[in-house]
Chains A and B, each alone.
Chain A
Amino acid sequence: MIAARTINFTLNGAPVTADVKPHHNVVELLQAQFGLTGARETCGQGLCGCCTVIVNGLAVSGCLYLASFIDGAEVVTVESLDAGGKLSPVQEAFIETSAFQCGFCTPGFVLMVTQLLDEHPDPSDDQIKHYLTGNLCRCATYPEVMQAVKLAAKKRKGA
């Protein structure tokens, strides 16, 4: 059997340690060892975005990212966005525009939209569509997500 190795990384701001095997991916690690289920494996191919996590400031597909590779990294998950019990502007906007149905893809969308607005505080429709190409919603809430992004952009400017 292949031995586990110990990795150290920062998870939502706190230093943590985990034992991982080479074939474990980040989604499994977060779910099994940290009880964080906001990142989920759906398509398993980096196409749907349900597994989105932020590694060293960049969005990645947790289902295609070996857990070993986050040794020493800063990892941020959707669970950090409402720190202190306050929803982020993006989360508020998703609720106010009803930009979700079943909610399974929603954490991934919320994280990607947060990244999008960090990069483009006032995005055009085209920028939104291109940035979110890799986030699919089988309930097809795309028009509502478009509205949520615009509302969130406004909220962030006001904040």
Chain B
Amino acid sequence: MAKITQDAAKVGAQVGRSVPRLEGRDKVTGRAEYTHTMRVPGMLHAKLFRSTVAHGRIKSVDTSAAKKVPGVVAVITIDDVRKVIPDPYYGPAFHDQPILADGKVRFVGEPVAAVLSFDPHIADEAVQLITAEYEELPAVFDEVDALTSKVYVHDVLKPAGTFADLKHLKNAKDTNMALDYRLRRGDFDKAYAAAAHKFEHEFKTQKVLHLPFEPHATIADYKDTGVTLHTASQGPSFVRTEIARLLGWQENKVRIKVPYLGSGYGGKLYIKLEALALALSMIARRPVKVALTFEELFYQITKHPCTFRIKSGVDKDGKIVARKCEVYWNGGAYADIGPRVTQKSGLTASGPYDIDNVWIDSYALYTNVTPSGALRGFGVPQLVWAYESHTDMMARELKLDPVEFRRKNIMREGGEHTTTHILKDAACEKAMDTVLERMNWSKPFDKGKGVIRRGRGFGVAIKAVITPTTSVAIVNVSADGSVALYCGTVDMGQGSDTAMAQMVGEVLNIQAESVRVVQRDTDVTPYDMGTLGSRSLFHMGHAVKRAAEDAREKLKALAREVGEPEGSNIPIRELFVKRYGMQAGNVIGSGIFKPDYIPPAPGTGLSKNVTAFWMVSSAGAEVSVDTETGHVKIDKLVNVVDCGKPINPRIVETQISGGATMQLGFTMFEKMHLDGGQVTNASLADYKIPGFHDTPTVMENVALEVFQSNGPFGAKGVGEVATFCVSPAIANAIDDAVGVRLTELPLNPEAVYRAIRAKAGKPLEDE
């Protein structure tokens, strides 16, 4: 029975309980709603004609044959779009992406024209009949080349105006650089020159992608009085703002509805198909659905490939005294959120180590490939791959124990992070020690003999949550005492609805299972910056907690108003009857949260308050390497995270395990193959992801018992953190097993085998 006398300090009844997921029944019965399988009456299907060249001027697009196909309603190019949206460019950081290719194409797969039909097969057939002529231009593919190349992906840069650190790039020409973040702490040059030992390595990561099993989909239903978009988006509020901007409308005429997402991992952030669907619906004056096929995912968004040049100076006692990080991010043809990846991950590029002299340059670069965006870690997994491989390589060369070497350098509570932010609630050493304990690190380890050799390795990492961002929540108590939560956090599988309901339940002392979490609809659910970067549980969690507390205080006021004594446990339902004479009325609580923040100082990148919270993880791997073929078997993978107080321990466990396994795919075999800008493996047949047999033989997933002092109920996010250390832990283990060092992902059998052969002085020929 609901009571209004709940003391919020009595934590534990709802928070910390493995509540079965609220949407479980809809998901296991196949009845959960997703945009990709949604239909609205009278809707047209759009199919896209895409560029076959990486960089070129469009000489002509011939749509005449397509238009003649019976059943085709319209064939649309940028010229048609411009008639309804005069400035048809969109994007979160730069307004650089045209709704359809505009004069130029900048990557293979860029949409050039769209066919509309009531029958998607007819639209498909018509797309095959479209032809385009291009004047091919030289293209730039590599991120390091892009910095100095004379090939420019964009003639003029057009920052969106949202981010202060991009303003100086307005109208910039003759550059591919979409952001240069720099951090300067101490005097790197001097300290490096004086260091007893100097190390310099380069690491690379490959192009991989999110591959959400529900591919991107948007249905736009434009009317002159308002527009509704049903869309598979991680950020309905941003979509609303951007659609309103494109239309020149007030936001209140734009409605964004988001059902469950068939996952996102960062791939459905900001704005993707929404602008195109809007334009097509405006032209057709009907609802239009744009839904990608799996193959088309390869032309939508990917993770950033990255080149990381890292230099460290170490003194005679094994203390790292200087570090220089040059990080090149391959952003693809449109910036998407790449500049934020560049900055927000850039500021932790030197790792969880206490180093007095640090130099970081982090560059977002345009190239002629599918755009890159955020993928489960906002760049941090690429950085950790490099700096934790680098750490082991140094320890090995210095003949230092990798544990002791890290222990000598690791950041500790109360110390300064590289940015000068004082480290708090960041259990770096504890995470590492827990991994070592779970791996019996101090015990003898069987290295194997003969063909199969065994090894083990680990890594430790830190990330700063993207700051500052805002979340708003509403808690609505109905007159029967039932409670609904309105929040814009999108449950794309991470279990946020359940966790948020638990927070509401905790404050109002009701069962989490009884809380209704309203589906995302910007007409109803208030602003949220976006479901990204592990921010939601913390930021939206605070907003939800405040909204519930507000409702609780209003219920208490209501009780006082009707003459209930302090501490009364009158059921809420009766409270409403007493006040309104019948089952009537509502109590609405609202909450808003935005953390404090000091932006990094221009020039030095330093800040005393750079992030709302730190995410920390460590991973350890035991591997068996087949020395005759290079096959690597993961015998054991231990993942330990500091995610504060787990709101729902079971969901936390599945997030750790899921994140680590996803990163395992990126580590071992996933790779988007490109040949002159052409994707050569755009299908699940040729781009493989982990399946049942690829999971480690033993997998341990541990959430440390720690409390985030500024978090809601001591909690913080956990969506990304288990991805961080998987790649270097495995590379370090391979080195331990067979004495070879791989510096480029993926660590596939051929790469390992080639390294083994090279080490033996019998390198395998190239082709």
Residues of A that sit less than 8 Å from B by CB? 1, 21, 23-24, 31-32, 36-40, 42-45, 47-48, 50, 77-79, 81-82, 87, 91, 94-96, 98, 100-107, 110, 128-129, 132-133, 135-145
Q: Report yes or no: A104 in contact with B29, Cβ–Cβ below 8 A.
A: no
Q: How far is the CB of A20 from chain B (nearest CB, A)?
A: 12
Interface size on B, residues (CB 8 A): 56
Q: Report yes or no: A133 in contact with B691, Cβ–Cβ below 8 A.
A: yes
Q: Report yes or no: A102 in contact with B30, Cβ–Cβ below 8 A.
A: no
Q: Report yes or no: B684 in contact with A138, Cβ–Cβ below 8 A.
A: no
Q: Report yes or no: B294 in contact with A87, Cβ–Cβ below 8 A.
A: no
Partner of B121, one of A23, A37, A39: A23
Q: Report yes or no: A101 in contact with B495, Cβ–Cβ below 8 A.
A: yes
Instruction: Type the 1/0 row for B65-87, where 1 means its CB is closer than 8 Å to any CB of A.
Output: 00000110000000000000000
Interface residues of B in 654-670 (CB under 8 A from A): 654, 657-658, 661-662
Complex interface: chain A residues within 8 A of B70 (CB): 1
Q: How far is the CB of A109 from chain B (nearest CB, A)?
A: 9
Partner of A79, one of B29, B260, B651, B684: B29
Q: Report yes or no: B24 in contact with A50, Cβ–Cβ below 8 A.
A: no
Give Cα A142–Cα B689 distance, bound, in whole angstroms: 13
Interface centre among B70, B211, B263, B295 (most CB of A within 10 A): B263
Instruction: Type the 1/0 row for B1-37, where 1 means its CB is closer than 8 Å to any CB of A.
Output: 0000000000000000010110111111111111011
Complex interface: chain B residues within 8 A of A103 (CB): 23, 26-28, 32, 260, 262, 493
Q: Report yes or no: A101 in contact with B493, Cβ–Cβ below 8 A.
A: yes
Interface centre among A24, A38, A79, A138 (most CB of B within 10 A): A138
In the complex, residue of chain A having the shortest beta-carbon distance to the beta carbon of B293: A44
Q: Report yes or no: B263 in contact with A79, Cβ–Cβ below 8 A.
A: no
Complex interface: chain B residues within 8 A of A82 (CB): 29
Partner of A101, one of B37, B215, B263, B691: B263
Question: Which of B134-142, B175-183, B692-700, B733-741 has 4 or more CB atoms under 8 Å from chain A?
Answer: B692-700
In the complex, residue of chain A having the shortest beta-carbon distance to the beta carbon of B210: A138
Complex interface: chain A residues within 8 A of B711 (CB): none
Partner of A98, one of B31, B263, B293, B650: B650
In the complex, residue of chain B having the shortest beta-carbon distance to the beta carbon of A136: B691
Complex interface: chain A residues within 8 A of B492 (CB): 102
Interface centre among A36, A129, A136, A141 (most CB of B within 10 A): A136
Q: Report yes or no: A102 in contact with B261, Cβ–Cβ below 8 A.
A: yes
Q: Report yes or no: A96 in contact with B20, Cβ–Cβ below 8 A.
A: yes
Q: Report yes or no: B684 in contact with A47, Cβ–Cβ below 8 A.
A: yes
Interface of A is mostly: loop
Give Cα A87–Cα B28 distance, bound, in whole angstroms: 9
Q: Report yes or no: B214 in contact with A40, Cβ–Cβ below 8 A.
A: yes
Q: Report yes or no: B661 in contact with A102, Cβ–Cβ below 8 A.
A: no
A-B contacts counted at CB < 8 A amount to: 164
Interface centre among A1, A103, A141 (most CB of B within 10 A): A103
Q: Report yes or no: B37 in contact with A40, Cβ–Cβ below 8 A.
A: yes
Q: Report yes or no: A102 in contact with B650, Cβ–Cβ below 8 A.
A: no
In the complex, residue of chain A having the shortest beta-carbon distance to the beta carbon of B295: A44
Complex interface: chain B residues within 8 A of A105 (CB): 213
In the complex, residue of chain B having the shortest beta-carbon distance to the beta carbon of A131: B692
Assuming A129-B692, A132-B692, what are 6 further A-B pairs, CB within 8 angstroms? A40-B37, A42-B262, A45-B683, A98-B654, A100-B27, A104-B262
Give Cα A118–Cα B693 distance, bound, in whole angstroms: 22
Q: Report yes or no: B262 in contact with A102, Cβ–Cβ below 8 A.
A: yes
Complex interface: chain A residues within 8 A of B28 (CB): 87, 91, 94-95, 100, 103, 106-107, 110
Q: Report yes or no: B211 in contact with A143, Cβ–Cβ below 8 A.
A: no
Give Cα A98–Cα B18 distance, bound, in whole angstroms: 10
In the complex, residue of chain A having the shortest beta-carbon distance to the beta carbon of B491: A102
Interface of B is mostly: loop
Give Cα A109–Cα B33 distance, bound, in whole angstroms: 17
Q: Report yes or no: A104 in contact with B263, Cβ–Cβ below 8 A.
A: yes
Complex interface: chain A residues within 8 A of B29 (CB): 38, 78-79, 81-82, 87, 91, 107
In the complex, residue of chain A having the shortest beta-carbon distance to the beta carbon of B693: A129
Q: Report yes or no: A37 in contact with B21, Cβ–Cβ below 8 A.
A: no
In the complex, residue of chain B having the shortest beta-carbon distance to the beta carbon of A32: B39
Give Cα A140–Cα B683 distance, bound, in whole angstroms: 19
Complex interface: chain A residues within 8 A of B21 (CB): 95, 98, 100
Partner of B685, one of A45, A106, A132, A143: A45
Give Cα A79–Cα B30 distance, bound, in whole angstroms: 6
In the complex, residue of chain A having the shortest beta-carbon distance to the beta carbon of B655: A101
Give Cα A99–Cα B452 distance, bound, in whole angstroms: 34
Q: How far is the CB of B208 from chain A (nearest CB, A)?
A: 12
Give Cα A44–Cα B295 distance, bound, in whole angstroms: 9
Complex interface: chain A residues within 8 A of B263 (CB): 101-102, 104, 138-139
Complex interface: chain B residues within 8 A of A129 (CB): 692-693
Say yes or no for B212: interface residue by CB 8 A criterion. Answer: yes
Give Cα A39–Cα B30 distance, bound, in whole angstroms: 8
Q: Report yes or no: A107 in contact with B690, Cβ–Cβ below 8 A.
A: no
Say yes or no for B117: interface residue by CB 8 A criterion. Answer: no
Give Cα A142–Cα B219 distance, bound, in whole angstroms: 32
Q: Report yes or no: A143 in contact with B695, Cβ–Cβ below 8 A.
A: yes
Q: Report yes or no: B685 in contact with A47, Cβ–Cβ below 8 A.
A: yes
Complex interface: chain A residues within 8 A of B37 (CB): 31, 37, 40
Complex interface: chain B residues within 8 A of A102 (CB): 212-214, 260-263, 492-493
Interface centre among A91, A107, A142, A144 (most CB of B within 10 A): A142
Q: Report yes or no: B31 in contact with A79, Cβ–Cβ below 8 A.
A: yes
Q: How far is the CB of A114 from chain B (nearest CB, A)?
A: 11
Q: Report yes or no: B20 in contact with A98, Cβ–Cβ below 8 A.
A: yes
Q: How far is the CB of B647 from chain A (nearest CB, A)?
A: 14
Say yes or no for B494: interface residue by CB 8 A criterion. Answer: yes
Q: How far is the CB of A113 from chain B (nearest CB, A)?
A: 11
Give Cα A49–Cα B169 distance, bound, in whole angstroms: 46
Q: Report yes or no: B213 in contact with A48, Cβ–Cβ below 8 A.
A: yes
Complex interface: chain A residues within 8 A of B24 (CB): 94-95, 98, 100
Instruction: Type the 1/0 row for B632-673, where 1 means its CB is closer than 8 Å to any CB of A.
Output: 000000000000000000110010011001100000000000
Give Cα A42–Cα B492 distance, bound, in whole angstroms: 16
Q: How far is the CB of B184 from chain A (nearest CB, A)?
A: 40
Give Cα A145–Cα B29 distance, bound, in whole angstroms: 16
Give Cα A37–Cα B30 distance, bound, in whole angstroms: 7
Complex interface: chain A residues within 8 A of B295 (CB): 44
Complex interface: chain B residues within 8 A of A142 (CB): 661, 690-692, 695
5 A-B residue pairs with Cβ-Cβ distance under 8 Å, sorted by A, are A44-B295, A132-B692, A139-B662, A140-B690, A142-B692
Give Cα A54–Cα B493 distance, bound, in whole angstroms: 26
Instruction: Type the 1/0 row for B81-117, where 1 means its CB is closer than 8 Å to any CB of A.
Output: 0000000000000000000000000000000000000
Partner of B684, one of A48, A78, A110: A48
Q: Report yes or no: A144 in contact with B685, Cβ–Cβ below 8 A.
A: no
- Given A42-B294, A44-B294 in contact, is the A136-B689 Cβ separation under 8 Å? yes
Complex interface: chain A residues within 8 A of B71 (CB): 1
Give Cα A52–Cα B263 distance, bound, in whole angstroms: 19
Partner of A138, one of B18, B30, B211, B692: B211
Q: Report yes or no: B657 in contact with A140, Cβ–Cβ below 8 A.
A: yes
In the complex, residue of chain A having the shortest beta-carbon distance to the beta carbon of B30: A38
Q: How far is the CB of A97 from chain B (nearest CB, A)?
A: 9
Complex interface: chain B residues within 8 A of A43 (CB): 294, 683-685
Q: Report yes or no: B493 in contact with A45, Cβ–Cβ below 8 A.
A: no
Q: Report yes or no: A40 in contact with B36, Cβ–Cβ below 8 A.
A: yes
Give Cα A123–Cα B685 distance, bound, in whole angstroms: 28
In the complex, residue of chain A having the shortest beta-carbon distance to the beta carbon of B494: A101
Complex interface: chain A residues within 8 A of B25 (CB): 87, 91, 95
Give Cα A37–Cα B259 distance, bound, in whole angstroms: 14
Complex interface: chain B residues within 8 A of A104 (CB): 34, 212-214, 262-263
In the complex, residue of chain B having the shortest beta-carbon distance to the beta carbon of A107: B30
